[in-house]
């Protein structure tokens, strides 16, 4: 199970990388816009911090323009993964990139049918948005379970990258469902560390040690 961070914030990425658990990064246009920095410059800096895959999304919507933009993004660093929307144009470009070995992340996946198409187009990753499905009254994690079942049954190589993660339980459920990756916002990565018994345990060990030292 790989853990990516879902952010374009360099400080968050550097902090999470220092914990030794970070396998990659995902960004999207909304996250990049929040940073207020030139896209390509920001992407290059992120790729210097993290050696693992860094997803960068194209803004174009038509296949030839998407392909040009994707190639440009892929040229910024060796670890760039080109993020494409699940549309006919996105799948056309995905197929071309798969033939050339350019890694892709097909994004905004909301159904098993879309997941099937994406795998057949040779995507490296596919991103089911579990939080947005939950928000709309559906069960996001059920989609992940169905995707894993389909991919296992037909031995598709596409990796299931669970996105739109809203709480630590999404990460646990994604792991139990057999997803390959969860991409997690910084705040939720931090929450994964916490358990009240761990914090109480540390305090108790320290208190016992100090008390014994005062006696001897
Ligand atoms: O990066 C894609 C995805 O994780 C976005 O999540 O919270 O905007 O639904 P959210």
Ligand 1 within 6 A of CB of 55: no
What pLDDT is stored for residue 79 in this prediction?
Answer: 98
Phi and psi of 192, rounded to 5°? Answer: -60, -25
Helix-then-strand count for the chain, H and E: 11, 8
Q: How far apart are CA 96 and CA 33, in angstroms?
A: 28
Q: What is the mean pLDDT of residues 4-32?
A: 98
What pLDDT is stored for residue 215 in this prediction?
Answer: 81
Ligand 1 atom nearest to 26, measured from its CA: 1
Asked if 120 is an active-site residue, the reply is no
Q: What is the mean pLDDT of residues 11-27?
A: 98
Q: How far apart are CA 151 and CA 71, in angstroms?
A: 27
Compute the residue count for the chain.
Answer: 216
Tell me how far the alpha carbon of residue 7 lies from the centroid of ligand 1, in angstroms.
Answer: 9
Q: Is pLDDT above 80 for 216?
A: no
What pLDDT is stored for residue 150 in this prediction?
Answer: 98
Instruction: For the chain, give the percent of residues with pLDDT over 90.
Output: 98
What pLDDT is stored for residue 95 in this prediction?
Answer: 98
pLDDT grade for 188, boundaries at 50, 70 and 90:
very high
Number of other CB atoms surrounding residue 30 within 10 Å:
9
Tell me how far the alpha carbon of residue 129 lies from the centroid of ligand 1, in angstroms.
Answer: 7
Q: Are 25 and 46 in contact (CB under 8 A)?
A: yes
Q: Is pLDDT above 80 for 206?
A: yes
Please give the mean pLDDT across all residues of the chain.
97
Tell me how far the alpha carbon of residue 163 lies from the centroid of ligand 1, in angstroms.
Answer: 6
What pLDDT is stored for residue 43 in this prediction?
Answer: 97
Sign (positive/negative) of CA torsion 93, 94, 97, 103? positive
Residue whose CA lies nearest to ligand 1 atom number 5 = 164
- What pLDDT, in 10s, does the model give residues 134-175? 999 999 999 999 999 999 999 999 999 999 999 999 999 999
Q: Are 191 and 16 in contact (CB under 8 A)?
A: no
Helix (H) or strand (E) holding 14: helix 10-18
Number of other CB atoms surrounding residue 99 within 10 Å:
9
Range of the domain at 58: 2-215
Q: What is the mean pLDDT of residues 194-202?
A: 96
Tell me how far the alpha carbon of residue 164 lies from the centroid of ligand 1, in angstroms.
Answer: 4
Structurally, the chain folds into a number of domains equal to 1
Per annotation, catalytic residue among 83, 88, 120, 187: 83
What pLDDT is stored for residue 182 in this prediction?
Answer: 98
Q: Are 85 and 65 in contact (CB under 8 A)?
A: no
What pLDDT is stored for residue 80 in this prediction?
Answer: 98
Residue whose CA lies nearest to ligand 1 atom number 6 = 164
Q: Residue 102 sits in a domain of what CATH number?
A: 3.20.20.70
- What pLDDT, in 10s, does the model give residues 92-138? 999 999 999 999 999 999 999 999 999 999 999 999 999 999 999 99
Burial category of 162 from C-beta neighbours within 10 Å (exposed 0-12, middle 13-18, buried 19 and up): buried
What pLDDT is stored for residue 85 in this prediction?
Answer: 98
């Amino acid at each position: 199970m790989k853990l990516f961070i879902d952010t374009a914030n360099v400080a968050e990425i550097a902090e999470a990388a220092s914990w030794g658990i970070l396998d990659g990064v995902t960004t999207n246009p909304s996250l990049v816009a929040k940073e207020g920095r030139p896209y390509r410059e920001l992407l290059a800096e992120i790729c210097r911090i993290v050696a693992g895959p860094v997803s960068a999304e194209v803004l174009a919507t038509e296949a030839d323009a998407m392909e040009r933009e994707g190639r440009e993004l892929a040229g910024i660093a060796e670890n760039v993964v080109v993020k494409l929307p699940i549309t006919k144009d996105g799948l056309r470009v995905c197929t071309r990139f798969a033939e050339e070995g350019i890694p892709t992340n097909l994004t905004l996946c909301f159904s098993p049918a879309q997941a099937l198409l994406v795998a057949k187009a040779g995507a490296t990753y596919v991103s089911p948005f579990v939080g947005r499905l939950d928000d709309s009254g559906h069960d996001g994690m059920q989609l992940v379970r169905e995707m894993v079942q389909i991919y296992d049954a037909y031995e598709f190589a596409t990796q299931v990258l669970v996105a739109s993660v809203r709480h630590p339980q999404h990460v646990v459920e994604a792991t139990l469902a057999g997803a390959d990756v969860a991409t997690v916002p910084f705040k939720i990565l931090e929450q994964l560390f916490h358990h009240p018994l761990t914090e109480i345990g540390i305090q108790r060990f320290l208190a016992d040690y100090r008390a014994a030292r005062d006696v001897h």
